[in-house]
Amino acid sequence: MNPSFGKEFIPLQCNQCEDAPCQRVCPTCAIYTSPEGVVLVHRNRCVGCKYCVEACPYKVRTLDHHEGIVVKCWFCIDLVRQGGEPACVTTCPTQVRIFGDLDDPISRISRFIAQHRAEPLRPDLNTRPKIFYKRS
């Protein structure tokens, strides 16, 4: 049997988990979920212990050594609150990203997920990630 090789590019970012392991392990309660469902870091509470960096299964948290705190994708929450979309969605030249309300069953994203059976990465890790991928 010949070994089979494949190559796939997958953009990876914070999955905004519903049961976020980073939030559970943070000793200072610096990590919280916003009313919109976005996982955010309270920059005045973070002490930089890096426990969340270890706990994140997707390894998408990084350290800002200048401020000494952990930073992550915040889904451009300020743009979203003004009715816009995250910068990664609006700037993507091939428009592969869809942003929207997962709680709304008739939103474009919910219909897209249902139609294409898009799935999150490693749902078996039980963190209930909120980024879905349509993979061929």
Partner 1 sequence: MPESAWGWLIISYLFLAGAGSGAFLAAVACDLLAPDWSKALARAGSFASGPLVIVGTACLVFDLEAGFWQPWRQIYLISNLTSAISWGVLILSAFIPVALLYAAALNEISFVGRYAKKYVRLLEVIGSILAVSTAGYTGVLIAVVNGVPFWNTPIMPVLFLASAVSTGLAVAMIGAAIIDISTIRTLSNFALGHVIFLAIEAVVLMLFIFTSLTRSVEAASSANILLSGFLSPCFWGLVVMVGILVPFLLSVVEYYEYGQMSKYLVVGADLCVLIGGMSLRAVIIFSGTPPQIIS
Q: Where do contacts with partner 1 occur on this chain (CB under 8 A)? A: 8, 10, 12, 21, 24-30, 44-51, 53-59, 63, 65, 67-69, 121-122, 125, 127
Give the C-alpha separation, 32 to 41, whole Å: 7
Report the nearest approach of partner 1 to the CB of residue 32 (Å): 11
Indicate the helix (H) or strand (E) that contains 116.
helix 108-116
Nearer to partner 1, 65 or 117 (CB): 65
Nearer to partner 1, 49 or 80 (CB): 49
Q: How far is CA 61 from CA 3, 6, 83, 98, in A?
A: 34, 27, 26, 22
Nearer to partner 1, 78 or 124 (CB): 124
Nearer to partner 1, 76 or 131 (CB): 131
Instruction: Read off the DSSP letter of residue 112.
Output: H
Q: Which amino acid appears at position 89 of this protein?
A: V
Report the nearest approach of partner 1 to the CB of residue 90 (Å): 25
Report the nearest approach of partner 1 to the CB of residue 16 (Å): 15
Report the nearest approach of partner 1 to the CB of residue 41 (Å): 11
Give the C-alpha separation, 22 to 39, whole Å: 9
Instruction: Read off the DSSP letter of residue 125.
Output: G
Instruction: Read off the DSSP letter of residue 71.
Output: E
